[in-house]
A and B are shown apart, each in its own frame.
Chain A
């Protein structure tokens, strides 16, 4: 009883910042401006430019999630192999940039990648060809990978360090070689971390509008921008909420697809 009452603040938090706002989104999403029930806000996703914005968002977020995974898994394996103290130092290095505001870091990349920016000035100094990816889809993927990589590394690392050396030794004892040990023991055991990482990267990447505005220079329309615009320009909260609900469906589908791997909830972050 005593222990349970300690959860009260958490319940207040859940209700006030998750459940109630979500109910608002549902309410606005399923009504029109006069407050009458309608499904039009959901159907609005069918217009050609919104469909293509959604597909583009899916494409870019799947791509960045994939790149994050490819970068993060070997890194997590290396971290696991390091001495505990060294390992936690490298993890610390990964978390360090997150102490700074996400917007600031993204704006910094805007300046770095700019055509007359820091990186190109340095390249020009050494008479090397400049890179010109700012304001393209490539810059957006870059920004997503940069910003969300720690969310992939940490859950995988957390799962990997829980796999005891004895487990690996047992596999080797029973005749598995290095590759077999990895694919038949380590990889399956790390699945919850991978799933958690994928979700933590895919969801914010799918919904972002800041990265596409800053690094995409407003030239690339993502579904997040479409929704943002409904709130900031047309002040149509109903349509904005309706489109958010549609997006939520895609997120739920992706989570259900992976949920069966995450039965034990071991992938919980940090």
Chain B
């Protein structure tokens, strides 16, 4: 779902350490805050600014996937104060009592978070008491208007014979199954074997039309025009459009998946108040805007949205709008049996010639 780059992070880590080194001498230290975030998921200047303003020293580490982050938090070897996992992983963290309740009095800026996203968060954090949304995005269809004349608004476009050999689908089972399940009108979190079988049949019928199943290579193929239509997560769309302005992104009318990455505080945090100050700082509108401009994943911060260009707000990749979001579902963790079921069906699809 997200591209992470390690090189820049090593640099960032050095920078943070250097800052921490000289910061201590200049002003009275207000302690530390240990942050654990996705790689390339913040504008570095924001960290600097936070340290200058609050005098709190930031220790900043990054992770590559939710699955890699989880065991570190579970083991508790490093007591992080604030982490930024995705929806279904927050659900798992809450279920295993690994999170602390937030004191929202310390995070007044939570008022800027859009209501729709707060509502969506309830699927994994039913009372909105553990998490503050940071970014969100949708799964949709990216297509090249130079190569495709039709106006696309449905997942069924990915089954259109006219685009044979030019269609790309995700090479990961949960994302892949969103398209057929939405066409059939089933939940993307279903574990009903009959429903999933129907979805599998659709995907089997689609396979001869595909160019290939891919992940990150979608970007290259869509930019170069060697594929004309693909499933795509919205977070990367702005960057793709800047490389190829003919690309258009749409969230299909049937609905789709959307994800929310939120800040949470682990139960074993040692600097909970500092972590709350951190989360509050990130939700100051100018700061949220600055971060958005750097990472290009949609921000749920209405304060930041108010500061943006009209043009940007109209881009469905950046802001899908409430009516679209209301049709979208967040992924739930399906457990080992659910994952095994998806995997079996997926192998059958991949095995077909």
- Interface centre among A52, A115, A236, by most chain B C-beta atoms within 10 angstroms, is A115
A110 and B350 CA atoms in complex are apart in Å by 20
Q: Is B309 an interface residue (CB 8 A)?
A: no
A61 and B345 CA atoms in complex are apart in Å by 26
A-side interface residues, number (CB < 8 Å): 28
A235 and B67 CA atoms in complex are apart in Å by 10
In the complex formed, the residue of A with least CB distance to B343 is: A234
In the complex formed, the residue of A with least CB distance to B337 is: A234
Q: Which of B122-130, B187-195, B209-217 contacts A (4 or more CB under 8 A)?
A: B209-217
Chain A 22-57 per-residue mask, 1 if CB under 8 angstroms from chain B, else 0: 000000000001000000000000011110110000
Tell which of A110, A217, A236 touches B211, judged by Cβ atoms closer than 8 Å: A217
Q: Is A241 an interface residue (CB 8 A)?
A: no
Main DSSP-derived SS at the A contact region: loop
CB neighbours of A114 from chain B (8 A)? 221, 224, 226
Chain B 173-213 per-residue mask, 1 if CB under 8 angstroms from chain A, else 0: 10000000000000000000000000000000001001111
Q: Is A262 an interface residue (CB 8 A)?
A: no
Q: Is B340 an interface residue (CB 8 A)?
A: yes
Task: Decide if B339 touches A217 in the complex (CB within 8 Å).
Answer: no
In the complex formed, the residue of A with least CB distance to B212 is: A217
In the complex formed, the residue of A with least CB distance to B350 is: A221
Given contact pairs A218-B171, A218-B212, A219-B207, A225 touches B336 in the complex (Cβ within 8 A): no
Task: Decide if A53 touches B343 in the complex (CB within 8 Å).
Answer: no
In the complex formed, the residue of B with least CB distance to A116 is: B226
Task: Decide if B226 touches A49 in the complex (CB within 8 Å).
Answer: no
CB neighbours of B67 from chain A (8 A)? 235
Q: How large is the interface on B (under 10, 10 to 19, 20 to 34, 35 or more residues)?
A: 20 to 34
In the complex formed, the residue of A with least CB distance to B174 is: A233
Q: Is A259 an interface residue (CB 8 A)?
A: no
In the complex formed, the residue of B with least CB distance to A33 is: B336
B250 CB, min distance to chain A CBs, angstroms: 24
Task: Decide if A49 touches B339 in the complex (CB within 8 Å).
Answer: no
Main DSSP-derived SS at the B contact region: helix
Tell which of A111, A225, A236 touches B350, judged by Cβ atoms closer than 8 Å: A225
- Interface centre among A33, A49, A114, A218, by most chain B C-beta atoms within 10 angstroms, is A218
Chain A 198-228 per-residue mask, 1 if CB under 8 angstroms from chain B, else 0: 0000000000000001001111010001100
Given contact pairs A218-B213, A218-B214, A233 touches B173 in the complex (Cβ within 8 A): yes
Task: Decide if A53 touches B351 in the complex (CB within 8 Å).
Answer: yes
Q: Is B172 an interface residue (CB 8 A)?
A: yes
Q: Is A135 an interface residue (CB 8 A)?
A: yes
Q: Is A230 an interface residue (CB 8 A)?
A: yes
CB neighbours of B224 from chain A (8 A)? 114, 116
Task: Decide if A49 touches B348 in the complex (CB within 8 Å).
Answer: yes
In the complex formed, the residue of B with least CB distance to A51 is: B351
B172 CB, min distance to chain A CBs, angstroms: 7
Task: Decide if A49 touches B212 in the complex (CB within 8 Å).
Answer: no
In the complex formed, the residue of A with least CB distance to B220 is: A111
A210 and B213 CA atoms in complex are apart in Å by 13
Q: Is B225 an interface residue (CB 8 A)?
A: yes
Q: Is B11 an interface residue (CB 8 A)?
A: no
Q: Is A229 an interface residue (CB 8 A)?
A: yes
A230 and B342 CA atoms in complex are apart in Å by 11
A57 CB, min distance to chain B CBs, angstroms: 12
Known contacts A117-B226, A234-B339; 6 further A-B pairs (Cβ under 8 A): A49-B351, A50-B347, A217-B214, A218-B212, A219-B210, A233-B339
What are 29 A-B pairs with beta-carbon distances under 8 A? A33-B336, A47-B344, A48-B351, A49-B347, A49-B351, A53-B351, A110-B217, A114-B221, A114-B226, A115-B226, A135-B211, A213-B171, A216-B212, A217-B212, A218-B350, A219-B207, A219-B210, A219-B212, A219-B213, A221-B347, A221-B350, A229-B343, A229-B346, A233-B339, A234-B339, A234-B340, A234-B343, A235-B336, A236-B336
